[in-house]
Amino acid sequence: MSIEVTVAAADQIKKAALESNLENTPLRIAATRKPDNSIHYGLGFDDVGNGDEKDHSYESNGVNIVVADSSFELLKGTTLDFVELEPKQFNFVFLNPNDPNYSPPAED
């Protein structure tokens, strides 16, 4: 599997899909390399459904994920998490070993 979604991220994605009447709609994740070699990420529900045969599809913790072939190599081995960065401020974060700004989480 190329992309893993943590339980916390999956719960938040499923909640957002329910609130938007987009249950069973895949989550499209995209990535592009910026001039400084870092990676810019995007995600959203693929409610248009016009993916092509070069899309890669995965399932992780009950979330269907679609990745365009152009983003596939940049996202290999990525984990999508939903964490509290500041008190009561939760955000999605990409833990991507392909990103030069990535540092693995510290072990407890």
Could you give all domains of the chain from N- to C-terminal order, each with its CATH number? 3-95 (2.60.300.12)
Q: Which tokens hold the place of 107?
A: 């072990």
The DSSP 8-state label assigned to residue 106 in this structure reads P
pLDDT of residue 54: 84
Per-residue pLDDT of 16-33, as tens digits, reads: 999 999 998 999 999 999
Q: How far apart are CA 10 and CA 92, in angstroms?
A: 10
The length of the chain is: 108
pLDDT of residue 43: 94
Which pTM was predicted? 0.87
For residue 52, is pLDDT > 90? no
